[in-house]
């Protein structure tokens, strides 16, 4: 167990006892990661900010129920994913009138714009956002959050072999999108 993991678990014990300072320290260590992960799912900065509050409120209430079956950071990402998907469902269920729907602009870059920019990082982000939600989520957890296949399986709630399969197809689709955008693959 790493020293960060042990320290995070100690913080959860203290949080369960009502220690506000321990909560501030845990928040300070993980709020950026929680925000970025939530933002990649919901694609709405304000909603991602709201998710941070919800996630850490749950941590405050549920710290004593942490079972140490995973790292604290993995547990936080699992809570974030659940809350983000719930928020998306609520958002989808909210009725938009036709005028409001027409007023929403599509801010996604087209492949032509990505090629014109010749910015590999920007093109990569655009291509990743073109992936299905399931594939984006797997790519995000594996490459941006450096989670293992087993950790991703736990966070997403699917078998490890399904994670491997989704990762394979996500890489394949991403390679196609990058090629179409004029960017060469960055992996062997």
Question: How confident is the model over 24-50, as pLDDT tens digits?
Answer: 999 999 999 999 999 999 999 999 999
From residue 139, alpha-carbon distances to 60, 131, 147, 172 in Å are: 29, 9, 10, 12
Q: Give the start-to-end residue ranges of the domains of the chain.
A: 3-93, 105-180
Structure token digits, residue 185? 């693959």
Fold of 3-93: Rna Polymerase Sigma Factor; Chain: A (1.10.1740)
Q: Band of the pLDDT at 3, cuts 50, 70, 90?
A: confident
48 CB-near residues (< 8 Å, 6+ apart): 35, 38, 39, 42, 84
Residue with the bigger pLDDT between 160 and 116: it is 160
Reported pTM: 0.61
CATH number attached to the domain at 105-180: 1.10.10.10
Q: Using CA atoms, how far apart are residues 142 and 148, in angstroms rounded to an integer?
A: 6
């Amino acid at each position: 167990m790493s020293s960060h993991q042990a320290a995070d678990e100690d913080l959860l014990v203290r949080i369960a006892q009502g220690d506000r300072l321990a909560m501030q320290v845990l928040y300070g260590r993980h709020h950026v990661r929680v925000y970025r992960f939530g933002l990649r799912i919901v694609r709405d900065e304000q909603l991602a900010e709201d998710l941070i509050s919800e996630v850490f409120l749950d941590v405050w209430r549920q710290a004593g129920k942490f079972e140490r079956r995973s790292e604290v950071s993995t547990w936080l990402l699992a809570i974030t994913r659940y809350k983000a998907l719930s928020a998306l469902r609520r958002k989808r269920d909210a009725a938009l009138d036709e005028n409001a729907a027409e007023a929403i602009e599509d801010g996604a870059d087209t492949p032509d714009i990505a090629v014109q920019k010749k910015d590999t990082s920007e093109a990569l982000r655009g291509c990743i956002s073109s992936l299905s939600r399931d594939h984006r989520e797997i790519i995000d957890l594996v490459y941006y959050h450096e989670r293992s296949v087993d950790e991703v399986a736990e966070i997403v709630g699917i078998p490890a072999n399904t994670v491997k399969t989704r990762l394979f197809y996500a890489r394949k689709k991403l390679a196609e999108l990058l090629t179409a955008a004029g960017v060469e693959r960055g992996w062997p």
